[in-house]
Amino acid sequence: MKLKSFNYLVGLLIIFLNSPVVSEEKIDIWNNKNKTETQKETNIQEEKSDQKKLSIAPSQTIEAIEKIQIQEGSELKSETQKVYGIFDPANFNFNLNMWSTTKAEDLRSSLKRIEKINLSKSSEEILEGILFSFSYPPVGMTEKEFADIKINWLIKNDRVDLIESFLKQNEQFESKSKAVQYLVDKNIASANIKEGCEKIKFIDAKIKDAYLEKFKIYCLIFNNKKSEAQLLLDLLREQNQSSKFYDDKINFLLKVTEKTSNKINEKNLLNFYLSSITISDFKYEPSKKTKPEIWKYLNAANLINLEDSSDKEKLRELELAANANQLDKNKIFDIYKQVPFNLNILISAKNNYQTLNESDARALIYQKYLLSEDIESKIEYLLLLEDLFKKANLINIYSKFLSDKIEEIGIENLPEKYQEVASSKIVTGEDVLLGKIKYNDKILHQSKIIKYFVDGEDKNKIQKDIDRIFKKITKNKKYFVSAKDLALADTLITDGFSLPQNFKYNDLSSKFDVPKNLLQLIDNDQRAFLALKIVEIIGEDEPYQLDPETIYFVTNLLNKMNLVTIRNKVLNSALPLRT
């Protein structure tokens, strides 16, 4: 009996000791289940959200919340990945996995094609939304390559504002020093050292870049913090990251030495800049081999002068640099004013210019234009000068100049015989200025219905407009339903509006074919890649410049993939009648 009692007590003790373990295991399993359910709910919310913002911290490391399927059928197991970008993907109806069904090579190939296109403002804005939304890289691409693609695009397109945004929102990535150096050199080239030193705030202890450390030391000297500069310089030397040239210049600036070498160092922009500020009576003759950033600095610092206007070879080098956008084009016209001509040659410029060499001929006609008093003579010499620049393949120097001078005179003030040709010479700005919308309820795609896309008009009010305007149009037997009308109708149906039963959308739309290769992207859920394809399609044009059939199938594709933000941008440009 005692033995039974003992065994009973031992059994209770064993159960008691083991019960926490069992309990812990049950709790873990329950937590894992909750986590899985929570992840599923998160994914669903992410897919459904059109405009809702994701809470992505700068350079946040995000646990992969779902396995990414690779095309061959294998799986990429959940792992810690970093995402880099500027925009919340939900702003463009994307999500973090927007590239997960796209092959890396497809993205690379598409971007190479896009690089060859002079994108319109709308195309570029759409591309920025796609490329700089936070996301995981496509299948077969590393995080480093994906970040490099973004940074290289920003640098190539000189998007300083977006580079700074990228740096602010992404603390660590391998090409960070490249991005910071671009900002630094951009400001040195503009002779804006104070602003360049402000960019040093993007440099942290994790960036080991000798060029940026050297510039940081110079900035400390520039801001009269010489003791701090000396400490960093000593550290740089200990790490064997300095150079004989740099030591010589910094010692001179720190007043450790009284003399410095007169050698001009062109290895990089910082070395060249240090040469220019430490050499008394600094003189430098740029050539074809001179780096573009050095040309820009020389121009900004007003270090380019042609002391001898008879040096035609040197003038030709400067003209070529200006034509290549390396030199301020106005510098060429300043030099032309310095070329000496006697009074008789100036008086008979039209007869004499053909006897001169090319640069002197341009200088003579330019001076004659400046001396002309009546408008007709001015426009004659301006157009003659254009011919001379074209003949020399230097028209890039002159196009904007000609446009500005014609606008100063005013087309309306020109003799009638010059007005048409002068109008064609005016260079329009890069920004597309969309005029005020003029609504026309007699044409479906120009009616007040489009207020829904343009102004965000209330849905109930728009439904009433739909009922009224469609009824009016369907009664008109002579009315022709255009591809633009169908683009609007397709969008209204997608967004949940009801159209009259007698409007046979399916029958009307069957006349237009949407490219099958693009429809295949929808079947494969390649949302981001489809949007990239649409950038290729729009290309150099603004959406309103596309033919109606293209506007329809682009809208149809965007509707099928629920890319509402991009779709509305396209429609806002393509449909309204503007004044």
| Residue 22 confidence (pLDDT) above 70 | no
Strands 75-76 and 80-82: unpaired
Cα-only R_g, the chain: 33
Tokens encoding 363: 């200088």
pLDDT in tens, 91-146: 999 999 999 999 999 999 999 999 999 999 999 999 999 999 999 999 999 999 99
Q: Which residues are CB-neighbours of 398 under 8 A, at least 6 positions away?
A: 329, 385, 386, 389
| Residue 395 confidence (pLDDT) above 60 | yes
Rounded to whole angstroms, the Cα distance separating 240 from 319 reads 42
Q: What's residue 206's pLDDT?
A: 64
Distance of alpha carbon 229 from its chain centroid, rounded? 36
Mean confidence (pLDDT) of the chain? 84
Rounded to whole angstroms, the Cα distance separating 65 from 76 reads 12
Percent of the chain scoring above 70 in pLDDT: 84
Question: Which amino acid type is present at position 475?
Answer: K
Cα 389 to Cα 180, 361, 428: the distances in Å are 39, 10, 20
Percent of the chain scoring above 90 in pLDDT: 63
Q: What is the mean pLDDT of residues 543-558?
A: 95
pLDDT in tens, 230-277: 999 999 999 999 999 999 999 999 999 999 999 999 999 999 999 999
| Residue 560 confidence (pLDDT) above 60 | yes
Helix (H, G, I), strand (E, B) or coil at 550: helix
DSSP 213-244: HHHHHHHHHHTT-HHHHHHHHHHHHHTT---H
Kindly report the backbone phi and psi dihedral angles of residue 69, in degrees, each rounded to the nearest multiple of 5, phi listed first. Answer: -80, 130
Is 270:211 a contact under the CB 8 Å cutoff?
A: yes
Quick one: DSSP state of residue 355? Answer: G
Rounded to whole angstroms, the Cα distance separating 259 from 540 reads 55
Beta-bridge mates of residue 76: 68
pLDDT in tens, 471-495: 888 888 899 999 999 999 999 999 9
Minimal CA–CA distance to 366: which of 319, 320, 435?
A: 319
| Residue 53 confidence (pLDDT) above 70 | no
User: What distance separates the 2 farthest-apart alpha carbons in the chain?
Assistant: 140
Q: What's residue 37's pLDDT?
A: 44
Q: Which residues are CB-neighbours of 140 under 8 A, at least 6 positions away?
A: 103, 104, 105
Rounded to whole angstroms, the Cα distance separating 147 from 176 reads 9
Rounded to whole angstroms, the Cα distance separating 551 from 83 reads 33
Q: What's residue 16's pLDDT?
A: 42
What number of other Cβ atoms are within 10 A of residue 432's Cβ? 14
Tokens encoding 307: 């002391």
Tokens encoding 401: 């100049």
Q: What's residue 67's pLDDT?
A: 34
Q: Which residues are CB-neighbours of 324 under 8 A, at least 6 positions away?
A: 396
Kindly report the backbone phi and psi dihedral angles of residue 492, in degrees, each rounded to the nearest multiple of 5, phi listed first. Answer: -65, -45
Question: Which amino acid type is present at position 141?
Answer: M
Rounded to whole angstroms, the Cα distance separating 213 from 233 reads 9
Tokens encoding 473: 């149009």
